[in-house]
Amino acid sequence: MPSTIDPRRQRELVRLLEKMGLEQTKLERDIPSGFDWLLVDQALVHPSFSTTYNNDQLEFIGDSVLKLAVSLFLREKYGDKKVGVLSALRAHLVSDKTLAKIARTYELKKYIVLSEAMRNDSQNVQGQEQTVLANSLEALMAAIYTITGDVKFIRRWLDPHMQNFAEALLEIPALGNYKLALLELTQRRWKRLPEYRNVATSVKNNIFFVEVWFDDRCWGQGQGKSIKAAQQEAAAIALDQMQKEIQI
């Protein structure tokens, strides 16, 4: 494990956090013990690049940090909603799909250190880039939280994204439960049910691929860390496509 960070790499990470509204001077002022840029660097090193210095454990911690930040956000902004509604919102807000979208707004891909083989995989294997981006963003959250000891440094840039996604979800039938919404649509309009087909599984990367069929036509393809998540993504695409054709 390196004991110091390369100055050029640190300047890159400074630019990244500044994109998130976390300015270096303010960070170093607010953290009397010093801001650990080496830990931020480690958060963006994929296990394919190094077996000893990588973001595996930080990503594990980041999963909990993310759920805490999102739960606090939901309680403050939507405290009048039932727990079931809040749980449904949180499930979508912490998904890989949502995290990857957020990561792309900060061009996180440019800062992630991957092996050459993994870099090629993330470009060519369906769903791989989404997983890499989501995991790296979670690891970055863990690093920031570990250094600062305060979730406010995460919520400062995460909350606006959560607000946008939550508002969009609340406008969707069945509150983002796309499978239920699709089922209700097909039953109501055609008195028939859609069919989900598992088309592939990447055991190495723990990614599932699913298609949703209706009337001998594939209406959507989805991917996720579980079959359920992949089905939801496929259903979301199918629902959008069906609603567009109904309006034509």
- Would you list the domain boundaries of the chain? 7-171, 178-247
Which contacts (CB < 8 Å, 24+ apart) does range 104-107 have?
Answer: 104/133, 105/161, 106/16, 106/19, 106/20, 107/19
Q: With bands split at pLDDT 50, 70 and 90, how would you rate the model's confidence at 157? A: very high
Class of domain 7-171: mainly alpha
Active site residues: 63, 138
Fold match, 7-171 / 178-247: no
Sign of CA dihedral 161, 95, 67, 47: negative
Give me 199's structure tokens.
């088309």
**List of residues 6+ apart from 128 with CB closer than 8 A:** 121, 122, 202, 205, 207
Rounded-to-integer distance, Cα 30 and Cα 47, Å: 31
Q: Output b/e per residue, 222-242; b: 16+ Cβ within 10 A.
A: bbbbeeebbbbbbbbbbbeeb
**List of residues 6+ apart from 171 with CB closer than 8 A:** none
Rounded-to-integer distance, Cα 211 and Cα 44, Å: 32
Read off the pLDDT of residues 14-43 as tens digits, 9 standing for 90 and up.
999 999 999 998 888 888 788 999 999 999
**Does pLDDT of 136 surpass 90?**
yes
Q: Could you give the percent of the chain with pLDDT greater than 70?
A: 97
CATH level 2 (architecture), domain 178-247:
2-Layer Sandwich (3.30)
Residue 224 is predicted with a pLDDT of 86
Strand, helix or coil at 203? coil
CA terminus-to-terminus distance, the chain: 59
Strand, helix or coil at 211? strand
Across residues 140-151, what is the average pLDDT?
96
Read off the pLDDT of residues 179-208 as tens digits, 9 standing for 90 and up.
988 999 999 999 999 999 999 777 667 789
Q: In sequence order, what are the beta bridge partners of 223?
A: 209
Strand, helix or coil at 238? helix
Rounded-to-integer distance, Cα 236 and Cα 95, Å: 14
Rounded-to-integer distance, Cα 146 and Cα 175, Å: 33
Is-contact 214 186, C-beta < 8 A?
yes
Across residues 164-179, what is the average pLDDT?
87
Residue 9 is predicted with a pLDDT of 97
Read off the pLDDT of residues 75-121 as tens digits, 9 standing for 90 and up.
999 999 988 889 889 988 999 999 999 999 999 999 999 999 888 87
